[in-house]
Amino acid sequence: MAKINFGGTEEEVITSEEFSLDKAKEVLKDETIVILGYGVQGPAQALNLRDNGFKVIIGQLEGDDYWNKAVADGFVPGETLFPLKEAAKQGTIIKELLSDAGQVATWPQIKECLNEGDALYFSHGFSIVYKEQTGVIPPDNVDVIMVAPKGSGTNVRRNFLDGSGINSSFAVFQDYTGRAEERTLALGIAIGSGYLFPTTFEKEVHSDLTGERGVLMGCLAGVMEAQYNLLRKHGHSPSEAFNETVEELTQSLIRLVAENGMDWMFSNCSTTAQRGALDWAPKFRDAVVPLFDELYERVITGKETKRVLEANSAPDYLEKLQKELDVIKNSEMWQAGAAVRSLRPENR
């Protein structure tokens, strides 16, 4: 492992220099990798594994849209694509990449397919950490491991194809074989991780649920909407409000942050922008601290997972979800966004 200094705290990370793809192939040479779920993470991890030379079997509900997507991606029914339980029976490494609610619903039949020495793999700590709610309690005679890419399945695939890889955390919850960590690292490299950093199942799910509801998605969407509505209220056009709220962030400033950090982005903006950002950042930070405290408390006590499982298990969940997404899509702000995107040179 390489030791890296993160802001004064030294951490160990693993890259393909310390754990090569050839080593991963050697570690996994006798394994049969089964991926359950071809929805969000499933396609990216399956395709990356396949492109790296690993044989992958997909388990999915026969005939649904995700099954058809797997067929379109080159997985063959009866050869590399099977119904969930039939696929799980073939695996020595079973990747649980169904939705959290899907894992709960199918766990009884998947548990029956686990053999001594198998590895049960997750990309999220949800089902294991909140076992009182999920009922997902693995048998004692299997490895329970995790590689959690720090991005959506779309970006796991994109970053693999452009050669950058996406960073992933990893953890071992249960080491029955004595090979659990080696298997975990091999799988992390095999799916194309840029680098791997250690965590625990608990820390992963607590940080992930907080991040999704906070800066990464929930907070970002809410703050954007608040600023857009403010500008519109004061007479700014939809185009101006959207460009000053979203387009400049996503097409310019966040790219500078990604390249060299927030201070570097500030130093590459006007002196007026610098001064305003430096003065107002602490105000926004302090304003949201109570919300983040509330959010984190709800995450660690399981209130957020209870909400997820109840909502996502409802028979009309997809219908209700689409209505909520359509409200966003059809709002003036994101209709303006569609118009702005259509004017980008690559879309004209």
Is pLDDT at 222 greater than 70 in this prediction?
yes
Is pLDDT at 1 greater than 80 in this prediction?
no
H-helix or E-strand spanning residue 59: strand 56-59
pLDDT of residue 345: 85
How does residue 348 score in pLDDT terms, banded at 50, 70 and 90? Answer: confident
The Cα 346–Cα 101 span in angstroms is 38
pLDDT of residue 73: 97
Is pLDDT at 313 greater than 90 in this prediction?
no
- Is it true that 2-199 and 211-347 share their CATH fold? no
Considering just the CA atoms, what is the radius of gyration of the chain in Å?
A: 22
Can 124 be counted among the known catalytic residues? yes
How does residue 328 score in pLDDT terms, banded at 50, 70 and 90? Answer: very high
Report CA 175 to chain centroid distance, whole Å: 24
pLDDT of residue 326: 97
| Higher pLDDT pick, 129 / 348 | 129
How does residue 344 score in pLDDT terms, banded at 50, 70 and 90? Answer: confident
Residue 33 and residue 91 in contact, taking contact as beta carbons nearer than 8 Å: yes
Question: If you search the block for the tokens 């840029």, which residue do you land on?
Answer: 194
Is pLDDT at 272 greater than 70 in this prediction?
yes
Q: Strand 143-149 vs strand 166-174: parallel, antiparallel, or unpaired?
A: antiparallel
How does residue 10 score in pLDDT terms, banded at 50, 70 and 90? Answer: confident
In this predicted model, what pLDDT tens digit does every residue of 98-137 receive, in sequence order? 999 899 999 999 999 999 999 999 999 999 999 999 999 9
Is pLDDT at 54 greater than 80 in this prediction?
yes
> What percent of the chain has a predicted confidence (pLDDT) above 70?
100
CATH assignment of 2-199, among 3.40.50.300, 3.40.50.720, 3.30.200.20, 3.30.870.10: 3.40.50.720
Q: Which residues pair with 69 in a beta bridge?
A: none
Closest-CA residue to 310 (of 121, 130, 172, 186) = 130
Q: Where are the domains of the chain?
A: 2-199, 211-347
In this predicted model, what pLDDT tens digit does every residue of 161-170 receive, in sequence order? 999 899 999 9
Question: If you search the block for the tokens 């050669």, which residue do you land on?
Answer: 163
Mean pLDDT for all residues in the chain:
94
What is the number of helices (H) and of strands (E) in the chain?
A: 19, 10
- Reduced to 3 states, what is the DSSP secondary structure of residue 135? coil
Architecture of domain 211-347: Orthogonal Bundle (1.10)
> What percent of the chain has a predicted confidence (pLDDT) above 90?
89
In this predicted model, what pLDDT tens digit does every residue of 186-201 receive, in sequence order? 999 999 998 999 999 9
Strands ordered across the beta sheet of 33-36: 81-82, 56-59, 33-36, 93-96, 119-122, 143-149, 166-174, 193-198
Is pLDDT at 151 greater than 90 in this prediction?
no
Angle between helices 303-312 and 271-300 in degrees, nearest 10: 80
pTM for this one?
0.90
In this predicted model, what pLDDT tens digit does every residue of 274-302 receive, in sequence order? 999 999 999 999 999 999 999 999 999 99
